[in-house]
Structure 1
Amino acid sequence: MRILFNIGHPAQVHLFKNLLWNLKEKGHICKITAVDKEVSLNLLDAYGFEYDVVGNAKFTSFTKATEMIKIEYILYRIAKSFKPDILVGGVGNVYLSHLGKLIGKTSIIFDDTEHSKVEHFLMDPFATVICTPSSYRTDLGEKQIRYSGNHELAYLHPDYFTPNPEVIKELGIKENDTFIILRFVSWGAIHDVGHAGLTLEDKRNAVREFEKYGRVLISSEKPLQKEFEKYRINVSPEKMHDLLYYATLLYGDSATMASECAVLGTHAIFCDYAGRGYTDEEEKRYGLVYNFYNEGSMGKDSLATALQLLNNPLLKKEGRQKREKLLVEKIDVTKFMTETVEKYGK
């Protein structure tokens, strides 16, 4: 079977890497195309994947529209040459759903983001199958397949991931040291228009308070203010999950990273106006993520909860215990993805 993958976001490199290796081991031929966004290409290089770049991430409605047309044209040319039997993409992959309709091939989208309304409007009518976590808030109809898991389990389940302590040694941190990671996203997606997450003052307050407990590290999709540069994490992107495993707490506005922490047994504070179904579940059922949606009081409320967590000397131990419950109740997501692609590929 010939399978065409399109990578639209760095998180999708992680999401699909074990699936790609599984399919190749089974004798399938996989081709990867990628949109150049943040560290996507760096991650693909780090894992030794060959790929074709089909476009760049754009940050205005007009440039996104023109880039979408360009990307779909390049994908069409690649598909005419590669002749895929099936197409696979991640969150909001409008390009592949359109391509599938155009060339008459099945497209499978693995999605976990309900509030991306523009992307869903453009993608859902054309996608053949949309696979979502069971916690997904929206009913997408007959083409939706729900599974008991989330994207982050596809690469951070202990069957696929073993934390490497070398990354904290690089940063001069000991395994039992307290350190807090702050993660800030770019807020450049179409569905984020009109929203900005944590304010500059919120971030300043967080850094000031967290330094009373331990070391502060910052990861950011967008350029940092000069005052925060000394906190920037300087490790290669493929080592980020090792760092999250050993962290005491994550604080920020990244849903993916908050969920990654939950799967790893690290508590996370997630600040976002809309939230996600899977982070809701990780809070209500497992107590590993704390969601804050009220943009008016988001910074104040989330910081108060973060400090309460940091005052718990058993925080990391309790996080590992909560993780065990999560792992017992969830499926092997990579196995599910592999079986789904093979089923529809026939």
Structure 2
Amino acid sequence: MRVLFDVTHPALVHLFKHPIRALEERGERVHIASREKDVTTSLLDAYGIDHVALTTASGGPLSRPREFLVRELRLVRLARSLQPDVVVSQVDPAAAHAARLSGARCLVFDDSEPEWAAAALTHPFADVVCTPATFERELGAKHRRYAGYHELAYLHPDRFTPSRDRLERAGVNPDQRYFLVRFVSWNAHHDAGQAGFSPSAKRRLIDTLARHGTVYICSETSLPPDLRRYRLPVSPTLVHDVLAFADLYVGDSQTMATEAAVLGTPAIRSNSFAGDDDMGNFRHLETEYGLIRSIGDEDEAVRQAGAFALTPPTKTWQRRRERLLDETIDVASFVLDTITEVGAR
């Protein structure tokens, strides 16, 4: 079987890395079309996954449509040369169109209801669209739901065990009280019109948390000089170890908030998505499991982060996590099984 993965974001490296390895171990022919976005290609290199970088993410109002066009042309050309049986992606029109134009089947993983525009250009060309069971839209006959979240493809305990030794060797003391903060760039196509922490709120947040422990910042954008001393001093491959032992996660990242939740790390997420029209997975993780607090107002988010930092961690979050794990699946196995089924048709 020939499988082409479209990997355009760091989160997709993690979502697909275990299925990629399993397919390669079975002797399948696996190809990865990557994108220079944040640490995407660095992660692929660190995990020893061969890939071809087709485009580079950049800022500016005209850069995104220009990149989409270039990526579509290059991905179609690559797919036609490889003749894959199945193209696997998240919501990406280029991947869906490349599958259709190369005669491949198209498998899409979607967990973001707000991505209407990209979904409208992707879902019609997909053969199967897989979403978490909490996904709040119906996608018709091609829609498959699973009990879990994308992040359980790599942070399920069958797939990941955090290591104190790895952190200590990298200079992070897992027994020290510390907080992990994540800021994203907000320049993705689905982020148009949305925003996270403002520069002033970032400083207030760091000042607040620093009174109670060490602060580590993981940021997609360059930090101002006064905040650079807080930059996380470890390889991107160790960020989940850092997150697992953190006393609190605070940030405007969607993915890392869910990662914190499935690891049992208390999480405060603040961005303009949080509210009445929020994604189903965040609503469920907050109301059903109490593992995330999603707060649209950045000042309130800073206040709650400070209040939480005053309180020593308890075992409450781990009990909540255990319940979540009892009610969800190893998503990597689901991804692998679905690729095998769709690619063999």
Q: 2:144 maps to what in 1?
A: 145
Residue equivalent to 2:29: 29
Measure the CA separation in 1 of the matches of 2:166 and 2:265.
Answer: 16
TM-score of the superposition, structure 1-length normalised? 0.94
1:172–1:36: structure 2 CA closer, same or farther, 3 Å change rule? closer
Aligned partner of residue 156 in structure 1, secondary structure: coil
Greater shift after overlay, 105-114 or 236-245?
A: 105-114
Residue 5 of structure 2 corresponds to: 5
**Retained in 1: the 8 A contact 2:271–2:298?**
no
Structure 1 CA distance for aligned equivalents of residues 126 and 60 of structure 2: 25
Q: Secondary structure at the match of 1:334?
A: helix
CA distance in 1, matches of 2:176, 2:301: 23
In structure 1, the residue matched to 2:66 is: 66
> 8 Å contact 1:97–1:128 — kept in the other structure?
no
Equivalent in the alignment of 1:199? 198
Which residue is equivalent to 2:300?
301
Give the letter for the 1:303 counterpart. Answer: V
Equivalent positions of 1:1-346 (< 5 A) are 1-90=1-90, 92-170=91-169, 172-274=171-273, 275-293=278-296, 298-315=297-314, 317-346=315-344
Q: How many pairs were matched up? A: 340
Partner of 1:87: helix, strand, or coil? strand
Change (3 A) 1:255 1:335: same
Q: CA RMSD in A?
A: 1.5
CA distance in 2, matches of 1:10, 1:102: 26
3-state SS of paired residue (1:272): coil
Look up the SS of the partner of 1:113 in the other structure: coil
**Are the aligned partners of 2:248 and 2:266 in contact in 1 as well (CA < 8 Å)?**
yes
Q: Deviations along 1:83-109, whole A, 9 cap, x unmatched?
A: 11111012x211111112212221101
Label 1:172 to 1:101 Cα distance change in 2 as closer, same or farther (>3 A).
closer
Tell me the alpha carbon deviations over residues 84-139 of structure 1, each in whole angstroms, 9 at most, x when there is no partner.
1111012x211111112212221101111111222112212222221111111222
Alpha-carbon distance in structure 2 between the residues aligned to 1:216 and 1:61? 33
Query: What code does the residue aligned with 1:331 have?
Result: I
Q: Give the C-alpha shift of residue 26 in structure 1.
A: 2.5
User: Which runs of 5 or more residues in structure 2 are unaligned?
Assistant: none
Greater shift in the superposed pair: 124-133 or 61-70? 61-70
* Aligned-residue identity in percent: 38
Moved over 6 A (4+): none
Q: Take 2:64 and 2:161, find their aligned partners in 1: how far apart are those partners?
A: 37
Contiguous gaps of at least 5 residues in structure 1: none
Give the drift of 1:185: 0.4
TM-score (norm 2): 0.94
Deviations 1:239-284 (A, max 9, x none): 1000000111010100100111111110111112224221221111
Q: SS of the residue aligned with 2:154?
A: helix
